[in-house]
Chain A
């Protein structure tokens, strides 16, 4: 069952962030949601994931296995990089495999480091790797490459594209270059006055 939003409206006080939003997201493909800051991209993602109830409207098809990179990293600061990923994947995720995947996103040598000791960009890559390695039917990516320098961003974007081929991905970004790189359907949200 594809992920489908019907007539979603979400307000915060007097401000209407989403108004009558409807869309059926393509299965096995990337959908990019773009728009200026404050136009409701992250709110839409939260509503689609089911972690924020809409004021009106319905979301169907989100009762499957979900994975996500949230607006914030949402990592356990006192756990190591490896433990943060294992928290989601469980013990079945082999150490060697994880270390080799960490190297793919430039986190070689960081496996045993507590997350609190990492830079912002490293944390972001840890959160992204956790989401990519988890088992999922729909993957939500909320600005997954923010805080990365250009070279690292390119490497990580290529890795992400490779890992998500043929999968249902909803990517939120304000960067047109990112949107074009991932292709797929593009939804441009407008900021409500």
Chain B
């Protein structure tokens, strides 16, 4: 409770700093105040287009995230099991990690339509995050537990859930937590470059073109809220699975 109060106080402090800075600047074109942003957001939520844009971007970013996490997990399992795959994936993962989102986005626009762009970009962001974390988890698996399971002749299904999955899930959880935020950032950045019709990225782009700073801030705030909601939702599902595993 005390921790939550401290966190809330920290948020209020920074909002106050923002408000003071906006008042000091005195031009909402340069820096919209928190009050203006909230007012603009309150107007936007009444528009159908606002919710359509949210649905459009969220569905694509989450699709890329889920595909990316799944692929990352599969790659990590293969690499953890076979050195051949570890060596094979190493340069690919290193390259995907190092290449800037903007380069990928421009390149991807040649291959896919702008509507599919955020799916591809978030997929590319999620894969190395999931891969690196899960691979690390696999490498950290306690081999002595496998020997214990051999001695007690623990069946394969129970062994998989109780020994392997229970040890890997914390790594999966931390990778998912990191990847959700990164996917939102990169997915929206890709949309700003590709400007697909009906996306949050296009709204951000328009707010820049028409110098609607309050809109820019309102959409940014919405992206943060969406990122937090999707992260909490996904982690809730993961935690439910973890609790189920804990109780075997």
Binding site for B on A (CB under 8 A): 49, 51, 65-68, 70, 72, 74, 76, 78-80, 82-83, 86-88, 90, 112, 114, 134
**Chain B contact residues: over half helix, strand or loop, or mixed?**
helix
Partner of B167, one of A68, A76, A86: A76
Is B29 engaged at the interface, CB distance under 8 Å to the other chain?
Answer: no
From the candidates A74, A76, A80, name the one contacting B247 in the complex (CB within 8 A).
A80
Distance, CA A49 to CA B145, complexed state (A): 15
Q: Is B147 an interface residue (CB 8 A)?
A: yes
Point out the residue from B142, B151, B162, B169 that lies within 8 Å of A87, measured CB to CB.
B162
Task: Given A70-B144, A82-B247, A87-B248, verify A51-B163 contact (CB < 8 Å).
Answer: no
**Complex CA–CA separation, A81 to B242 (angstroms):** 15
* Complex contacts, A78 vs chain B, CB 8 Å: 166-167, 169-170, 242, 245-246
- What are the residues of chain A within 8 A of B149 when measuring CB–CB? 87
Do A49 and B151 form a contact, CB below 8 Å, given A76-B163, A87-B163? yes
Closest B residue by C-beta to A80: B246
Are B158 and A51 within 8 A (Cβ)? no
Interface pair A66/B145, CB less than 8 Å apart: no
**In the assembled complex, which residues on chain A have CB atoms less than 8 Å from the CB atom of B152?**
66-68, 88, 134
Q: In the bound complex, what is the Cα–Cα distance between A80 and B148 (angstroms)?
A: 17
Q: Which B residues lie within 8 Å of A67 (CB)? A: 151-152
7 A-B residue pairs with Cβ-Cβ distance under 8 Å, sorted by A, are A76-B167, A80-B248, A82-B247, A83-B162, A87-B158, A87-B163, A134-B152
Binding site for A on B (CB under 8 A): 142, 144-145, 147-155, 158-159, 162-163, 166-167, 169-170, 242, 245-248
A114 neighbours in B (Cβ, 8 Å) = 246
- B161 — nearest CB in chain A belongs to which residue? A87
Known interface pairs A74-B144, A76-B162. Does A51 touch B150 (Cβ–Cβ under 8 Å)?
Answer: yes
Given A72-B144, A74-B144, A112 contacting B151 (CB threshold 8 A) = no
Contacts of A82 in B (CB 8 A): 247-248
User: If the complex has contacts A66-B151, A67-B152, A86-B248, are A79 and B144 also in contact, measured as CB distance less than 8 A?
Assistant: no
List of B residues within 8 angstroms of A83 by Cβ? 162, 246-248
Question: How far is B245's CA from A83's CA once the two chains are assembled, in angstroms?
Answer: 9
Closest 7 CB pairs of A and B: A83-B248, A74-B148, A87-B162, A78-B166, A88-B152, A66-B151, A76-B166
How near does chain A come to B140, taking the closest CB pair, in angstroms? 12
Q: Are A68 and B151 also in contact (CB < 8 A) when A78-B245, A90-B158 are? A: yes
Chain A proximity of B225: nearest CB distance (Å):
32
Further contacts, 12 of them, CB under 8 A, given A51-B151, A78-B167:
A68-B148, A68-B152, A70-B144, A72-B144, A74-B147, A76-B162, A78-B166, A78-B246, A79-B162, A79-B246, A79-B248, A86-B248
Residue among B145, B147, B150, B170 making CB contact with A76, cutoff 8 Å:
B145
CB distance from B133 to the nearest CB of A (A): 16
Tell me the bound Cα distance from A72 to B153 in angstroms: 18
* A174–B145 CA distance with the chains assembled, in angstroms: 25
B136 to chain A, nearest CB (A): 16
Nearest-CB distance from B96 to chain A (Å)?
Answer: 30
CA distance A66 to B148 in the complex (A): 10
Q: Give chain B residues whose Cβ lies under 8 Å from the Cβ of A134.
A: 152
Are A70 and B148 in contact, CB atoms less than 8 angstroms apart?
yes
Residues from chain B with Cβ under 8 Å of A87 in the complex = 149, 154, 158-159, 162-163, 248
Bound-state CA distance A70–B246 (Å) is: 22
Most buried by A among B155, B162, B247, B248: B248
